[in-house]
């Protein structure tokens, strides 16, 4: 009897132990790596052997080879602006990106630079997944080959992936009748849908300016935001959300290693994660041989076509952003002179964001076809508009509306002098305009030479949309052709800063 009692007690203890083990929480650890590149314009590395598609490919392939789950994201801007895109409208970039292990590509605003038909053509050539949840066709239809979101399943957890194109592309580029919806509202809607489908983590890949980035973060619907567009390096984590941007041209590739913990018990499951950031300097990687070989082939084609000197410059010209977006520039004066003189217009207006060479031309330097196309990679045409003096003034107000920062809308002019005061309210900053020696007459009609982008109201120059077109898309020549002819005719140019545009911060501008 005693033995039976002892046996029953032991059995009870064993059963209790088994029950406790069955109900005990279990924790497993998983890993996921997110890799970001964005805003890649140059095929080859820079002078410090950083960037370039061959080195970028080497980094991406090395990350994929590690064996852990990896999502490789390209956050947009590929087919333009680049040197060769002026010749092939971005075909070479898609060809090269097809050699890379991309899991998601979301179009940037520059994917639309050559119009909607070219956008569709380039995207149809891509062998990698394209995501743009906030992009639709003219009638609201989903574009062929473009995804909005996807639920990815890994060992024990699920990731909701959303892609967003730049929703300000209609202002910054030339998407024609394509439609763009709000990035923030689109993310909120799709994130809720993916959560219902079991997503533990929401990852958004967006081509978005910093204002839109902040909106997406403030919505609190995404766990990770991988962004492009601002050309800077940003890494942040507030304890709940990660935000990353990876500069431009692949100088850095950013990897985020997520350490995931999944704790489960009988009736509960807890999902948590922690990010570890890695900055991958592409100068530390040997170029991928396959991509490097193809880049060399494209560079050989470029050299044959473009390495021909047109003339020399007797003065220094600087096309870095600080020069062409921060004030009057010698190179902006030269290019606006070129289109005004070629068309016989009274005045000319170009935007600083249209100059992309980021180069200093020392006195005595040769200027080649390559240099001109690198400065003007968008393939813009010269339009001539009939405008009133009032419209010129309104256009200039648009150009100075963000003059406190290095904005692409900053004006370069020819045939006029402008004084502005940025301490004044937006819309009232232009204090003096002269056309030649005479003050601007708001009621008078003038001929204005500009690029097709501004003529369509791009970069905030919406007033030009209502102007009468004298020379347009059918008859207008490439701005690059006008500039090449201008340099070749003169052999030596002497552009300089001469007081055409003076920006002040007080009433002294008057």
How far apart, in Å, are the Cα atoms of 108 and each of 36, 130, 148, 442? 14, 11, 15, 38
Give pLDDT, residue 266.
81
Specify the residue for token string 């507030």.
238
Give pLDDT, residue 476.
86
| Residue 6 confidence (pLDDT) above 70 | no
Strands, E assignment, 404-462: 411-414, 416-421, 430-435, 438-439, 445-451
Burial of residue 270 (CB within 10 Å: 0-12, 13-18, 19+) is exposed
Strand order in the sheet with 438-439: 438-439, 430-435, 416-421, 501-504
Helices (H), 102-209: 116-125, 169-172, 183-196
| Residue 18 confidence (pLDDT) above 80 | no
pLDDT band for 24, please (50, 70, 90 cuts).
low
Cis peptide before 81 (omega within 30 of 0): yes
Cβ 484 vs Cβ 310: under 8 Å = yes
424 forms bridges with which residues in the sheet?
none
| Residue 338 confidence (pLDDT) above 50 | yes
Q: What is the 3-state secondary structure (H, E, C) of 367-390?
A: EEHHHHHHHCCCCCEEEEEEEEHH
| Residue 10 confidence (pLDDT) above 70 | no
CB within 8 A of 258, min separation 6: which ones?
31, 32, 33, 34, 201, 273, 274, 275, 276
pLDDT band for 1, please (50, 70, 90 cuts).
low
Note the pLDDT tens digit of each residue in 58-105: 999 999 999 899 999 999 999 987 778 878 999 999 999 999 999 999
DSSP conformational letter for 495 = -
Structure tokens at 277: 């950031």
Tell which residue, 77, 114, 82, 118, has the closest CA to residue 373.
82
Average pLDDT on 171-187 reads 93
> What's the rounded Cα separation, in Å, for the pair 354 and 381?
12
Give pLDDT, residue 3.
57
> What's the rounded Cα separation, in Å, for the pair 406 and 352?
9
> What's the rounded Cα separation, in Å, for the pair 22 and 29?
20
Average pLDDT on 114-143 reads 96
Structure tokens at 428: 């009232």
Give pLDDT, residue 171.
83
pLDDT band for 443, please (50, 70, 90 cuts).
very high
Note the pLDDT tens digit of each residue in 467-504: 999 999 878 888 998 999 999 999 999 999 999 999 98
> What's the rounded Cα separation, in Å, for the pair 130 and 145?
7
**Lowest mean per-residue pLDDT among 12-16, 230-234, 480-484:** 12-16
Cα–Cα–Cα angle for 7, 11, 13, rounded to 5 degrees:
120
pTM over 0.85: no
Cβ 61 vs Cβ 24: under 8 Å = no
User: Residues of the chain with pLDDT > 90: what percent?
Assistant: 82
- At the second CATH level, the architecture of 307-509 is Alpha-Beta Complex (3.90)
User: Residues of the chain with pLDDT > 70: what percent?
Assistant: 94
Helices 479-490 and 330-343 cross at an angle (nearest 10°) of: 100
CATH number of this structure's domain 26-295, picked from the four choices 3.40.50.1000, 3.20.20.70, 3.60.15.10, 3.60.21.10: 3.60.21.10
Give pLDDT, residue 510.
43
The domains of the chain are located at 26-295, 307-509
DSSP conformational letter for 465 = G
Give pLDDT, residue 305.
82
**Lowest mean per-residue pLDDT among 96-100, 138-142, 170-174:** 170-174
Give pLDDT, residue 83.
73
**What is the rounded average pLDDT for all residues in the chain?**
92
> What's the rounded Cα separation, in Å, for the pair 389 and 436?
13
| Residue 402 confidence (pLDDT) above 90 | no
Q: Three-class SS of residue 73? A: strand
| Residue 315 confidence (pLDDT) above 90 | yes
Burial of residue 378 (CB within 10 Å: 0-12, 13-18, 19+) is buried
Give pLDDT, residue 292.
98
Note the pLDDT tens digit of each residue in 26-40: 999 999 999 999 999
């Amino acid at each position: 009897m005693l033995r039976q009692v002892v046996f029953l007690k032991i059995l009870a203890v064993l059963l209790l132990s088994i029950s406790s083990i069955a109900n005990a929480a279990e924790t497993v650890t998983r890993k996921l790596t997110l890799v970001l590149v964005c805003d890649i314009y140059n095929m080859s590395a820079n002078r410090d052997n950083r960037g370039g598609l061959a080195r970028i490919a080497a980094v991406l392939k090395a990350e994929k080879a590690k064996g852990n789950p990896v999502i490789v994201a390209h956050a947009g801007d590929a087919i333009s602006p680049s040197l060769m895109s002026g010749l092939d409208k971005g075909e070479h970039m898609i060809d090269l990106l097809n050699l890379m292990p991309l899991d998601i590509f979301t179009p940037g605003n520059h994917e639309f630079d050559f119009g909607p038909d070219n956008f569709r053509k380039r995207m149809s050539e891509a062998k990698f997944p394209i995501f743009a949840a906030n992009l639709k066709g003219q009638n609201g239809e989903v574009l062929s080959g473009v995804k909005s979101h996807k639920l990815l399943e890994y060992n024990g957890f699920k990731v909701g992936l959303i892609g967003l194109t730049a929703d300000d592309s209609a202002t910054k580029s030339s998407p024609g009748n394509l439609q763009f919806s709000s990035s923030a509202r689109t993310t909120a809607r799709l994130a809720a849908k993916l959560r219902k489908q079991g997503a533990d983590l929401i990852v958004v890949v967006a081509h978005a300016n910093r204002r839109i980035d902040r909106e997406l973060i403030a919505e609190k619907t995404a766990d990770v935001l991988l962004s492009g567009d601002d050309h800077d390096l940003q890494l942040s984590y507030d304890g709940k959300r990660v935000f990353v941007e990876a500069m431009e041209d692949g100088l850095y590739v950013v990897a985020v290693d997520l350490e995931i913990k999944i704790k489960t018990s009988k009736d509960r499951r807890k999902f948590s994660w922690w990010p570890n950031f890695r900055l991958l300097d592409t100068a530390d990687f040997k170029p991928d041989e396959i991509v490097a070989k193809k880049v060399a082939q494209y560079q050989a084609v470029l050299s044959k076509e473009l390495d021909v000197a047109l003339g020399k410059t007797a003065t220094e010209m600087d096309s870095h952003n600080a020069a062409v977006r921060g004030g009057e520039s010698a190179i902006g004066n030269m290019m606006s002179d070129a289109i005004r003189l070629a068309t016989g217009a009274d005045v000319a207006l170009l935007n600083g964001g249209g100059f992309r060479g980021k180069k200093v031309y020392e006195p005595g330097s040769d200027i080649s076809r390559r240099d001109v196309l690198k400065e003007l990679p968008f393939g813009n045409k010269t339009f001539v508009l009939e405008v009133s003096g009032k419209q010129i003034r309104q256009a200039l107000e648009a150009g100075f509306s963000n003059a406190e920062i290095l904005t692409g809308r900053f004006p370069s002019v020819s045939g006029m002098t402008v004084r502005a005061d940025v301490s004044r309210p937006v819309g009232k900053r232009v204090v003096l305009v002269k056309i030649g020696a005479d003050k601007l007459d708001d009621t008078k009609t003038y001929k204005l030479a500009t690029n097709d982008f501004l003529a369509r109201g791009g970069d905030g120059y919406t007033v030009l949309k209502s102007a009468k077109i004298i020379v347009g898309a059918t008859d207008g020549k490439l701005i690059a052709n006008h500039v090449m002819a201008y340099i070749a005719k003169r052999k030596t140019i002497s552009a300089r800063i001469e007081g055409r545009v003076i920006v002040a911060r007080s009433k002294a501008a008057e």
